[in-house]
């Protein structure tokens, strides 16, 4: 099973983003995880479409946009011109999940569903054949540096078991204090995509390069 590393761009040095992107490319990062926050669904604001378009032009790393917003269709339309690889939206805010999935696909973007730690896995089961990825939050969205919520492991194990019989199973992505320790807790149900932020990749006190850090995490995930 392949494992992929996504770098959480909100954790990078925003004053030196071009340098950060160059380092991430050198580290062979697979995806740039881009949190879009509207100040309503979560109590934070982050990443506008024009800034993200500038990032897109500055790197060859595919973008993985996570909409932590209400009214996801509004934001799908707003960010579609950036042409990310994935757009994920929260099942908690949707009246018509399939409509949002179809809107994302209409732009030739891969749809993904995100769910919070306390949200039942049952809410997304009807849509697993319609999406390309499940983003399982291991912290509540909005801020970096939170404590990994171990209750998510039960959902992760169940989802991995459910997907084993799918001919075209969506990827499983995890986001929220993902590091060597928390990955070790997922050893029996490893996800496909690990979002790395301040606790692993962008750790300013760690003198290792992004390449060394991501390789260390990737190797740990493959055990």
The residues assigned a catalytic role are 35, 175
Q: How far is CA 54 from CA 24, 57, 66, 79, in A?
A: 16, 5, 17, 12
Q: How far is CA 163 from CA 132, 169, 214, in A?
A: 12, 6, 27
Q: For residues 10-19, b (16+ Cβ closer than 10 Å) or e, as one string? A: bbbeeeebee
H-helix or E-strand spanning residue 26: helix 17-26
Give ∠ CA 131-129-95 in degrees, rounded to 5: 65
Q: How far apart are CA 178 and CA 121, in angstroms?
A: 20
């Amino acid at each position: 099973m392949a494992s992929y590393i996504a770098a959480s761009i909100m954790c990078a040095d925003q004053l030196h983003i071009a340098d950060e992107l160059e380092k991430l490319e050198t580290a062979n990062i697979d995806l740039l995880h881009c949190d879009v926050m509207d100040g309503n669904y979560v109590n934070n604001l982050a990443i506008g479409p024009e800034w993200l378009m500038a990032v897109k032009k500055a790197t060859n790393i595919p973008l993985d946009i996570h909409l932590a917003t209400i009214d996801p269709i509004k934001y799908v339309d707003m960010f579609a011109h950036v042409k990310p690889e994935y757009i994920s939206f929260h099942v908690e805010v949707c009246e018509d999940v399939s409509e949002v999935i179809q809107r994302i696909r209409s732009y030739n973007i891969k749809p993904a569903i995100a769910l919070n730690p306390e949200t039942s896995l049952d809410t997304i089961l009807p849509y697993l054949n319609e999406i390309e990825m499940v983003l399982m939050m291991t912290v509540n969205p909005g801020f970096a540096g939170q404590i990994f919520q171990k209750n998510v492991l039960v959902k992760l194990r169940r989802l991995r078991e459910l997907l084993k019989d799918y001919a075209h199973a969506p990827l499983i992505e995890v986001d929220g204090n993902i590091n060597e320790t928390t990955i070790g807790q997922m050893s029996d149900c490893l996800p496909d995509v690990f979002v790395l932020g301040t606790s692993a990749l962008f750790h300013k006190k760690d003198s290792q390069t992004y390449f060394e850090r991501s390789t260390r995490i990737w190797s740990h995930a493959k055990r």
